[in-house]
Every structure is written in C-alpha cells, then in structure tokens.
Amino acid sequence: MNRTDRLYAIVEELRAVAPRPRSAAWLADRFEVSRRTVERDIGALQQAGVPVWAEPGRTGGYCLDRGRTLPPVNFSPDEAVAVAVALGDLAGTPFAGPGGTALRKILAAMRDDDASAAHDLAARVHLLGGRPAAPPVPAVLADAITSRRVLRLRYIDRAGAATTRDVEPLGFVRSTTAWYLLGWCRLRDAVRAFRLDRVDRVTATSERAPHRVVRPEDVQVPEGDLRTLTLL
C-alpha cells in the first residue's frame, strides 16, 4: 500500500470507530508499518486539516471528530455477503484492489453483531469451481484512468510479437473472456484495446493525457454489444 492509500485508509478506519480511539500500535499493526510511520502519517493528516487528535491515557489513541464524520453505513449481514459474492469475480481485473478496500470499509462500519453475523453467513456460502487464477493487475495500470498519466507499455500481441507503445488511457472494457485497457495508441495514432494479460511491462510517465472522446464504434473488441456501466 502506498502512502496516499494508507493515509486515506487511516482516515476511514478512524471514521468507522469514531469517537472511539485507535492506538498507534493498533494502526501500525493494521497497516504493517512502524509506529513512527503512523505518527508521521497522523501529523500529515493534521497539517492537511483532517480533524484528528490524540487522546491521552492507557486506553487512548487517535480520534476523528465525530461531528465531522459521516454516519455509519447500515449494511445488513445479507447485504455485506452479497457484496462479497459480487466482488469475488474481480481477481485479475483493474478493480480487485478497490473492491477489497470497499468490503473492508463495509465491515468496519457495521455494528459488531452484524459483522459477526456476516462472517457466519459467509462461512455457509460455498463456491464450486470458478475462473482460473489470474495475475494481479499492476497498480499503475489499475489507476490509469483516474491518474490520467500517459502510459508506456510493452505489449505482446496475439501472434507473440512485442512492441513498446505510449498510450493515453481512455477507459476499460470487459469482454466475455478478458479485460482490456482502452487507449489512444500513439504508435498507431488511433484508439486501441489492450488485453490486460498481454501487457508485459508498464510505467506511468509524467505527462498528463489530453481529454479525448471515445465513440462506441471506436472500440475494437468484437464480443457482443458495447454498453456503458451505470451506477444505480
């Protein structure tokens, strides 16, 4: 976990238990860093204006101002397990990491008895078979759309030929068999879809990608009709 993600996760952890404190030792163990690193992170959050303060005493720790936190998300045990089942197919996709983070946030925000019931229900759900294990998507590739950095890819095509390309990330496409990065390929001077499992190496450049509009007919993934994801 990089520092930016850890700072966000610390805030979410403190928000979930507010107004109760979390000790530096507990946070260090949770995020697998030293206590000194936690103290530096808390200092950075305070300098950024996050309402975190230290509560002294044997049972003290770091607290987040309850008046400036969101109310708990009241997921039922059934809803939490439904989300876990849905997230189970995210391995090898750009959203596997955020999916795991989302589930941890849901469980952290639930009441202790509901969280316990969710774990009990999950232990009674059995999954038979499934997709072959997929390699994790590199973080720089998973974050490509939100970071909008031009990527340098070493890409292996279906014939096994390798090329190095600078690509402006435009979106992701899921077909029936694979996930693709949709991008403006500067080598081909056109929109191209790159299968994530054929990206051999990827780095993010310092250049910010310009805004481009993609039409459905520009997407060359010949597997069914293209539709855009919507949030209900």
Asked whether the predicted pLDDT for residue 151 surpasses 90, the reply is yes
Mean pLDDT of 57-81: 77
| pTM for this prediction | 0.62
Q: Which two tokens mark 219?
A: 């997407």
Return the pLDDT at 112: 80
Asked whether the predicted pLDDT for residue 182 surpasses 70, the reply is yes
**C-alpha separations of 25 from 37, 63, 207 in Å:** 11, 14, 39
Q: Is 42 left (phi over 0), alpha (psi -120 to 50) or beta?
A: alpha
How much is the CA Rg of the chain, to the nearest whole Å? 21
Contact 138, 147 (CB under 8 A): no
Return the pLDDT at 54: 87
Number of Cβ within a 10 Å radius of residue 53: 11
Mean pLDDT of 197-216: 90
Please state which of the ranges 6-10, 24-28, 151-155 shows the lowest mean pLDDT. Answer: 6-10
Q: Which two tokens mark 59?
A: 């049972």
- Mean pLDDT score of the chain, rounded to an integer? 85
Return the pLDDT at 226: 67
Asked whether the predicted pLDDT for residue 30 surpasses 70, the reply is yes
Q: CA–CA separation, 96 vs 16, rounded Å?
A: 22
Return the pLDDT at 114: 87
- The fold of 139-218 is SH3 type barrels. (2.30.30)
Contact 75, 114 (CB under 8 A): yes
Q: CA–CA separation, 139 vs 142, rounded Å?
A: 5
Domain with CATH 2.30.30 in the chain: 139-218
Q: Which two tokens mark 160?
A: 């096994």
Q: Which two tokens mark 63?
A: 């607290």
Q: Is 186 left (phi over 0), alpha (psi -120 to 50) or beta?
A: alpha
Domain with CATH 1.10.10.10 in the chain: 3-68
pLDDT digits (tens, 9 = 90+) for 117-135: 999 999 999 887 666 667 7
Q: Which is higher by pLDDT, 31 or 57?
A: 31
Return the pLDDT at 70: 53
Return the pLDDT at 206: 92
Mean pLDDT of 182-187: 94
Task: CATH number for 3-68: choose from 1.10.3720.10, 1.10.10.10, 1.10.540.10, 3.40.250.10.
Answer: 1.10.10.10
Task: Calculate the dihedral angle through the C-alpha atoms of 134, 135, 140, 146, rounding to the nearest 10 degrees.
Answer: 10
Return the pLDDT at 195: 92
Return the pLDDT at 123: 92
Return the pLDDT at 58: 75
Task: Calculate the dihedral angle through the C-alpha atoms of 155, 152, 204, 150, rounding to the nearest 10 degrees.
Answer: -120
